[in-house]
Structure 1
Amino acid sequence: MNILYLHDVNSKLSDKKRMILEKHGNVFAPNFDYSKEKILSFKTIVKYVHPRKDVIIGCGLGAVNGFIGSNINGTPALLFNPPLMKYYKYSKAPQIVQGPKYLVLGAKDEVVDPRETLTFLKDHLQQKELEIKVYPYLGHEISSVFFKELVSDYFYNLKFTFRQGGCY
């Protein structure tokens, strides 16, 4: 399985989280300078999504770009605290939303207001394409312990769905 990991602003994939992801497949984690471009261009996203990535995982601003990447070809995505309301509306992404998405939101997130994300999703997605978990004590940072638990559950469910003949 090929995994595309998109980091948050002023961040990158830590060695601990990379090891967690590598248990599930090959990890591609390009580094972006978000000070130049918050929302990656379609050309850039396609460059990383289309050499067939099976799953996109993104955190923060990387999750917004992962959301867009998932829309391009229906790639399943695990997205942590995406500030969709703030940034997606400025992207040149199509408004047709496709691709199964699993979103993790922290109710205590001091960077991304989960209520804004939920409002955005209510207006843009159909229920069957989306699973949302709001964790009451989670902030913006995702510990490696919690990341491992969520990623393991996500890949278990993803593989179970593939075995059952579904696309996700």
Structure 2
Amino acid sequence: MILLYLHGLESKLNAAKKAVLEQYGSVLAPDLDYHNNPDAVQQVYEMYKGQPIDYVIGSSMGGFAAFHLGRAFDKPVLLFNPALVKRSVPQNIPTFKTPTSGFGQVVLGGKDSVVDPADTLRFLGDQLKAGFDYHLRAEMGHRTSLEVFEEEVQEFFEYQ
């Protein structure tokens, strides 16, 4: 199984979270420069469109990218505080041929001061009719602790 993980704007996939993901499959985690590349989503699509991606996972800006790439690859997504409504750096949204995505799990921090969970819920409500599970973690801010990451990843893969 191949997992595509997309990091956030000012972060990378750390070793501990990568180890969690590697329990479920091989991890592809490209290093993305969102600041200088407004076409990062399209770039990732071009890099991996010929590979057998099974799942797309992302956090914050990577959650934004994962949402759109999940549609492009028609694969289930796991999104942590995805920056779907507002982003501090511009990103172009390519038009992909696949208009829908598979199952999705969205994890939102109730104390997130970077990505407003209410905005995300409104956006997803307008975009999607069914097929997504929403997990509001009241104690969580924008950053996802290793403990929460592990719990949410486990639940995501148990559902599959």
Q: Same fold (TM over 0.5)?
A: yes
Distance 1:157 1:115, change over 3 A: same
| Structure 1 equivalent of residue 143 of structure 2 | 141
Distance 1:89 1:8 in 2: 13
| Structure 2 equivalent of residue 163 of structure 1 | none
Q: Deviations over 1:69-93 (max 9, x none)?
A: 1111311110000111125995233
| Structure 2 equivalent of residue 45 of structure 1 | 45
Asked if 1:113 corresponds to 2:132, the answer is: no
Distance 1:148 1:49, change over 3 A: farther
| Structure 2 equivalent of residue 104 of structure 1 | 107
Asked if 1:34 corresponds to 2:38, the answer is: no
Say if 1:17 and 1:147, in contact at 8 Å, map to a contact too: yes
Higher fraction of helix: 1
Q: If the length of structure 2 is used for normalisation, what is the TM-score?
A: 0.89
Q: Deviations over 1:47-81 (max 9, x none)?
A: 22541110111000001100011111311110000
Q: Deviations over 1:16-64 (max 9, x none)?
A: 0011111111011110111112552424324225411101110000011
| Residues matched between the structures, number | 157
Deviation (angstroms), 1:99: 2.4
Cα RMSD, aligned residues only: 2.0
Q: Deviations over 1:102-122 (max 9, x none)?
A: 100111101100111111111
Q: If the length of structure 1 is used for normalisation, what is the TM-score?
A: 0.85
1:122-133 correspondence to structure 2 within 5 Å = 122-127=125-130, 129-133=131-135
Amino acid at match of 1:86: K
* Structure 2: runs of 5 or more not aligned: none
Distance 2:70 2:127 in 1: 14
Distance 1:115 1:5 in 2: 24
2:95 to 88, 93, 96: 93
